[in-house]
């Protein structure tokens, strides 16, 4: 617990040091949101395993805690440092092609929580992971007023409606900011658009999508948008993608059949935001909603993912059967049951250990010096570690 407290304190201290620079752009907006962003960082320190983030990385991320849409390359523990990217092009240039998984966290939406969750995933697969920051802005304040924290699964269309408030207030734009696609921008949030853009880009070859809490909803929305805009690409991804939702059962597009829904035995919060007609694939005993291994009742993300990939590994060749994932009758039970292959659940694709190692081969990030920027806002220029 000491390491968690140390990481949080260091992050908040470094964040305070960068406040004058961030106030040079949109001072009223940043002053209004700063206290809430600090609160959300503290929430993420409780709900995520932030002790896996080194002090150097915590200091590095402190100025960009709320940079919605920004992308991180998160290698496994003991490897290279986290790389923070503003755009898809920078992500591709600085090692994004090596990422074999895409992770999206929820709860507070801070970069610290997103990095901690992504590192748990990276430790499970032994390869770099891409992570998208959800951020916290004016749209989130309005969503909270309608109970967004407690009913995120049932208010999926509310937050994007208020994204225009952030744009009007002059927030920095990161990730996928295609202003020409105004129709998509009007109905999806920036983090969702960034996840969709990453999945649609043929330069990136993800084999695993992992989400926690509200992050499951972001992944679902991104996949639904991708199915509407590029059915061919969506079908290609559905053949090889394994999706693991943690802490909430959210409906995915029917063509994505290889979905594993994981929830804690004591996770009433996750159950409240889950779709009742989706059955639970793995119910973790004595686990609640948080993944912080320093606290009792945690859901061990790394151990759970290792177990899932060992028992139902990822195949890159065999196509998945077109089984509907989230179209069961609304009266179905949410209790964990042993489901035979013929019961409507997707057939697990066989794979050898050589294929698994090839899919999640250990690679290191290229030693590319960070770009120098002369701008202010949520994202700060990358600093060497």
82-113 pLDDT, tens digit each: 999 989 999 999 989 999 999 999 887 889 99
Q: Which of 76-80, 118-122, 143-147 is predicted least confidently?
A: 143-147
pLDDT tens for 240-252 read 999 999 999 999 9
Q: 3-class DSSP state for residue 283?
A: strand
For 175-220, where are the E strands, in sequence order?
A: 208-212
Q: Is the pLDDT of residue 42 over 90?
A: no
Q: What is the pLDDT of residue 33?
A: 72
State the chain's maximal CA–CA distance in angstroms.
61
- For 59, 112, 172, 176, the CA distances from 375, given in Å and listed in that order, are 19, 22, 10, 18
Q: Within its chain, how far is the Cα of 54 from the centroid?
A: 20
**Cα gap 305→123, rounded to integer Å:** 9
Mean pLDDT of the chain: 76
**Cα gap 66→64, rounded to integer Å:** 6
Q: Say what the alpha-carbon torsion angle 229, 232, 234, 239 is, to the nearest 10 degrees.
A: 180
Q: What is the pLDDT of residue 240?
A: 92
CA nearest neighbour of 29 among 19, 16, 42: 19
Look-up of token digits 């509907």: 324
Q: 3-class DSSP state for residue 342?
A: helix
Who has greater pLDDT, 111 or 142? 111
Q: What is the pLDDT of residue 287?
A: 95
**Cα gap 299→126, rounded to integer Å:** 19
Look-up of token digits 């290279």: 80
Who has greater pLDDT, 297 or 185? 297
**Cα gap 170→214, rounded to integer Å:** 25
Q: Which of 38-42, 129-133, 276-280 is predicted least confidently?
A: 38-42
Which stretch of DSSP H or E encloses residue 10? Answer: helix 2-17
Which stretch of DSSP H or E encloses residue 20? Answer: helix 19-22
At 336, the pLDDT band (50, 70, 90 cuts) reads very low
At 289, the pLDDT band (50, 70, 90 cuts) reads very high
DSSP structure string for 227-264 = HHH-HHHHHHHHHH-EEEEES---PPPTT---EEEEEE
At 261, the pLDDT band (50, 70, 90 cuts) reads very high
Beta bridge partners of 102: 130, 209
User: Hey, which of 98-112, 253-267, 367-381 has the most confident mean pLDDT?
Assistant: 253-267
Q: Is the pLDDT of residue 346 over 70?
A: no
Mean pLDDT of 202-215: 93
Percent of the chain with pLDDT over 70: 66
User: pTM, whole model, 2 decimals?
Assistant: 0.74
pLDDT tens for 148-157 read 555 565 555 5
Which stretch of DSSP H or E encloses residue 101? Answer: strand 101-104
Q: 3-class DSSP state for residue 274?
A: coil
Who has greater pLDDT, 168 or 287? 287
Q: What is the pLDDT of residue 378?
A: 54
Beta bridge partners of 263: 283
Contact 111, 65 (CB under 8 A): yes
- The tokens for 82 are 């986290």
Q: Is the pLDDT of residue 281 over 90?
A: yes
Q: Is the pLDDT of residue 222 over 90?
A: yes
Look-up of token digits 């909270």: 144
At 175, the pLDDT band (50, 70, 90 cuts) reads low
């Amino acid at each position: 617990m000491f390491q968690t407290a140390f990481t949080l304190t260091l992050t908040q201290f470094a964040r305070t040091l960068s406040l004058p620079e961030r106030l040079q752009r949109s001072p009223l907006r940043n002053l209004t949101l700063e206290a809430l962003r600090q609160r959300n960082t503290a929430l993420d320190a409780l709900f995520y395993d932030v002790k896996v983030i080194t002090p150097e990385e915590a200091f590095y991320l402190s100025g960009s805690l709320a940079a919605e849409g920004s992308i991180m390359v998160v290698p496994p523990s003991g490897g290279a440092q986290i790389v923070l990217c503003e755009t898809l092009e920078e992500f591709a240039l600085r090692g994004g092609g090596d990422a074999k998984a895409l992770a999206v966290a929820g709860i507070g939406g801070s970069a610290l929580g997103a990095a901690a969750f992504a590192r748990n995933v990276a430790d499970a697969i032994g390869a770099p992971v891409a992570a998208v920051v959800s951020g916290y802005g004016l749209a989130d304040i309005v969503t909270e007023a309608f109970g967004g924290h407690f009913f995120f699964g049932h208010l999926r269309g509310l937050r994007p409606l208020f994204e225009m408030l952030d744009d009007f207030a002059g927030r920095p734009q990161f990730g996928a900011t295609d202003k020409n696609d105004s129709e998509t921008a009007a109905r999806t949030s920036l983090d969702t658009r960034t996840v969709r853009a990453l999945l649609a880009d043929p330069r990136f070859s993800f084999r695993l999508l992992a989400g926690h809490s509200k992050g499951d909803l972001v992944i679902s929305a991104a996949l639904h948008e991708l199915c509407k805009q590029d059915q061919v690409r969506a079908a290609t991804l559905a053949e090889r993608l394994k999706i693991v939702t943690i802490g909430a059962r959210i409906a995915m597009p029917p063509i994505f059949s290889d979905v594993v829904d994981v929830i804690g035995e004591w996770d009433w919060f996750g159950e409240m935001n889950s779709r009742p007609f989706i059955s639970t694939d793995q119910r973790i005993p004595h686990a609640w909603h948080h993944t912080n291994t320093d606290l009792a009742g945690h859901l061990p993300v790394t151990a759970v993912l290792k177990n899932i990939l060992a028992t139902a590994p990822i195949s890159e060749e065999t196509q998945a059967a077109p089984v509907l994932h989230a179209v069961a009758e609304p009266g179905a039970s949410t209790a964990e049951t042993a489901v035979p292959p013929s019961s409507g659940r997707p057939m697990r694709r066989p794979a050898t250990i050589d294929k698994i190692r090839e899919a999640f081969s250990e690679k290191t990030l290229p030693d590319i010096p960070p770009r120098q920027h002369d701008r202010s806002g949520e994202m700060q220029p990358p600093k060497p570690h």
